[in-house]
Structure 1
Amino acid sequence: MANTTAVYARIDTKLKDNAESILSQLGISPSSAIQMLYSQIVLKKGIPFDLKLPSSEPLAVGAMTKKQLDKELQKGVDSINTGNVYSADEVDTILAKEFGI
């Protein structure tokens, strides 16, 4: 028998249910998911994802005020005027690297 130990954690019931529903669809048990997380912590020598506060800037155009939208649009115009432009392929590469899409 493998040398194992139990890990106990108290988490929000709804969070647990939602996560376990997704894990089930992936065919992964909660124990396997925790094992994967711990393995990645050891491999990365830390938490295997970024821990940071969400941006204080609105992420959706619909959540911006007119002033905020005008400011963001002006940044784009200024960027173009300074020659800071990207091809569609360059944008695809940047998005894939930064967001995995």
Structure 2
Amino acid sequence: MMAKSANLYVRIEPEIKEQAEKILSTLGIPASNAINMFYKQIILQRGLPFEVKIPERTPTDISTLGTEGLHVELEKGYVDMKAGRTKDAQNVFADIRKDYGL
């Protein structure tokens, strides 16, 4: 095994760093080990070890819609509701709380 002698200096948003390091600490993984694992996965995958793409659909900002656009979006929601493509709000919020440790 090679000695770890290369340094990596990066700038990152303090809040992102804090949140990630809190999770890594809970897992018992030092940040330097996590970065080393990430780099090894880049090598093994010959690219990023996760998919990077622009989402097909982004949430609609209703504040930018006129009356007609708002009606179109409301109609889409109504059609989804009638077709049974809905989720119970309690379950949605429970999933959010679980996923984000809230």
TM-score category of the 2 structures, normalised to the smaller one: 0.5 to 0.7
In the alignment, the residues of structure 1 paired with residue 4 and residue 18 of structure 2 have an alpha-carbon distance, to the nearest angstrom, of: 28
Tell me what 1:50 maps to: 51
- Residue deviations 1:31-72 (CA, integer Å, cap 9, x gap): 0000000000000000000101234254xxxxxx43122444
Tell me what 1:33 maps to: 34
In the alignment, the residues of structure 2 paired with residue 57 and residue 31 of structure 1 have an alpha-carbon distance, to the nearest angstrom, of: 34
The share of aligned pairs that are identical, in percent, is 40
In the alignment, the residues of structure 2 paired with residue 26 and residue 66 of structure 1 have an alpha-carbon distance, to the nearest angstrom, of: 43
Point out where structure 1 has 5 or more consecutive residues left out of the alignment.
59-64, 78-101
The correspondence of residues 8-27 of structure 1 with structure 2, limited to 5 A, is 8-27=9-28
In the alignment, the residues of structure 2 paired with residue 49 and residue 16 of structure 1 have an alpha-carbon distance, to the nearest angstrom, of: 19
In the alignment, the residues of structure 1 paired with residue 36 and residue 81 of structure 2 have an alpha-carbon distance, to the nearest angstrom, of: 45
Distance change >3 Å, CA 32–CA 3, structure 1 → 2:
closer
State the TM-score, normalizing by the size of structure 1.
Answer: 0.59
SS at match of 2:21: helix
State the TM-score, normalizing by the size of structure 2.
Answer: 0.58
Aligned residues: 72
In the alignment, the residues of structure 2 paired with residue 73 and residue 67 of structure 1 have an alpha-carbon distance, to the nearest angstrom, of: 10
